[in-house]
Structure 1
């Protein structure tokens, strides 16, 4: 364990206390403006909490620059930018380093030049922890400002930070987090590719509108699929007696096709919406905001899980995994939305859902093969998501333990 002036985790070869100084000993406010209009509206930069400093057109599809960009601040590579306007995620703003090309930012941003005693990428990493950033900025809010959360350009530099004395140590820390970010980005890309692959198969392995056979089919199967109402292939909302104590699953507990949370409730004090007692093989379809596609196949060996009435409970007489995959497909979701009511929170009731017709293979083995295919794909996606979440948690822990 480190003392109050050394971090808990430190790279070998570095010793001695970190120094407590004002941030203005590391950064200097830049007064460089785009007076000669060397940069145009296509060079305007945006600051994002997730993506850092990026070209506004590439990031948001257009430039939101004013009539003239002459008053805009010039941002060179390595400069530090502070967003003075509060954001939803950070009420006092955010601090980022420009790792890309030079450009300009509006007067909503403050631009700082790094001094020789600091690595500007380290400055960003230091403030990447939201709690540390907000602790630092909160005392610096301008007194009497119209916007209570606003911090001026110079005020943002007068707070106290604790940095390594050696710039090499700062660089080593920022380089470590860059590598960790690259791993996270790669993992995210692989996850996105898997999800896109699944969407592609969902479109091609079920018949399109007006057709009776899918574009892609497993070998050995032929013949047209038949059209059936959901009520003909599944029992809807079967009646059951709730146990005295159970695990409750609400609408926030399912993301994608994964159960991410549940909580213990007693029958006497449980929410009135806790009514759907799960049986293995049941498919739970989210009837509120169905475009989110948060639907779950209950495959746990327990008889004490109860779902909210925000889900339609389907007990299939066909392959359960086939049905789960079928209701994830875009054409089905569009059909559900067409029959939903409400705009901000579109919803469909179970009776209307049960009347929707889908095409189903007449051969049970074909249903099973399709269901198993998507089951394996979902398991791969879930594993990839778990690895991504673990990487993010690892980064979060290092942000706490490698800084003061």
Structure 2
């Protein structure tokens, strides 16, 4: 084998120094292309054969049974490495079952090392460079068999596989913890808010209140975009697209000046007392404002009064959102007015109990965020290892 066909990875286990050898995927793995059964043989009966047709049947790197079939075309055994060959090309999964392969997938042997190598190839966009198709991207048997990769001797392959397998297990366990926390939070919210679960020392009935009795509802506005003196100032100015999964916001993409604020219907909203609440298509996306700011007219923000706890109300957002969507009106797009939002009724306890309930949900959300940060760190570590443990 020629010298230029050999390489070494950037990160290596002690005791290994030999160059990796360039091979074709078809030389080191048995490639089995899928063949779809007749659709008349598809079923929903788990007693039949699991059918894997493509990415829709893959979840978190594993086959996720969705469709079954009575017709066997091509079989991939339990533990097989599967590769999607139609858009999106390059998704990789393992199968915990014997499965029938549809034409959207191929089986690439059973090897752990190859599984991780294929994941790296996908992350690097390897298959996208090869995919063809006038209607959608795809790769064929030749593309797969001719794909070039560099491989070390078996002992090094096994060490790489073990460490990446361990990391995958840790990632999966962390994701499971997040899922469990989310389910616990959902169940806790339901039981606390229907009062079937009460905090110790509290027994008074909750009372119905209009949202407008608990908070001032404040709309926003946009300064003239043709006036440069209204823009690029020091005042944060939010658009609905900036409100997503974050609980807190403290810095907007665009800012306005004091003059821009004065010359528009935008108003300053107080920090730590305001829940930004989107009021147009995508109604009910919310975040707590931690720095004084203004918004455009796509919001009806909830400025909490002294008789309400901000995190208690923030924990009520799913309920408020549901009711707001039902009340929303509009021929072009749905919108909830400040007047309508203020009339939404919710059950609330006294302020002291609100505060304690708010702290319960705050602690749970903090724990979820902490676990999500851990998961993000593990995924970054995996990405770095995939980049440096392979050639």
The answer to whether residue 346 in structure 2 is matched with residue 358 in structure 1 is yes
The answer to whether residue 270 in structure 2 is matched with residue 279 in structure 1 is yes
- The aligned counterpart of 1:129 is 120
- The aligned counterpart of 2:3 is none
- The aligned counterpart of 1:168 is 155
Q: 1:322 aligns with which of 301, 312, 320?
A: 312
- The aligned counterpart of 2:360 is 373
Write out aligned runs for 1:185-264 (5 A): 185-206=172-193, 208=194, 214-237=195-218, 244-256=233-245, 258-259=247-248, 262-264=251-253
- The aligned counterpart of 1:177 is 164
- Whether contact under 8 Å (1:34, 1:69) holds in the other structure is no
Unaligned runs of 5+ in 2: 1-5, 224-229
- Whether contact under 8 Å (1:84, 1:108) holds in the other structure is yes
Distance 1:23 1:17 in 2: 18
Q: 1:159 aligns with which of 142, 147, 158?
A: 147
Aligned-pair CA distance for 1:31: 7.7
- The aligned counterpart of 2:107 is 111
Aligned-pair CA distance for 1:75: 0.8
Aligned-pair CA distance for 1:79: 3.7
Q: Normalized against structure 1, the TM-score is what?
A: 0.77
Distance 1:335 1:138 in 2: 44
- Whether contact under 8 Å (1:73, 1:107) holds in the other structure is no
Task: State the Cα deviation string for residues 241-266 of structure 1 (Å, max 9, x = none).
Answer: 99922445443444445247844434
- The aligned counterpart of 1:399 is 386
Q: 1:389 aligns with which of 373, 376, 391?
A: 376
Distance 2:363 2:311 in 1: 10
- Whether contact under 8 Å (2:237, 2:294) holds in the other structure is yes
Unaligned runs of 5+ in 1: 115-119, 209-213
Deviates more, 1:181-190 or 1:309-318: 309-318
Q: Normalized against structure 2, the TM-score is what?
A: 0.79
Distance 1:184 1:147 in 2: 36
Q: 2:327 aligns with which of 318, 332, 339?
A: 339
Distance 1:168 1:273 in 2: 69
- The aligned counterpart of 1:44 is 51
Paired residue secondary structure (1:129): helix
Distance 1:253 1:273 in 2: 20
Distance 1:239 1:139 in 2: 46
Distance 2:216 2:356 in 1: 22
- Once superposed, what is the RMSD of the aligned Cα atoms? 3.7
Distance 1:389 1:204 in 2: 31
Aligned-pair CA distance for 1:282: 0.9
- Whether contact under 8 Å (2:269, 2:303) holds in the other structure is no
Distance 2:387 2:86 in 1: 26
Distance 1:237 1:113 in 2: 60
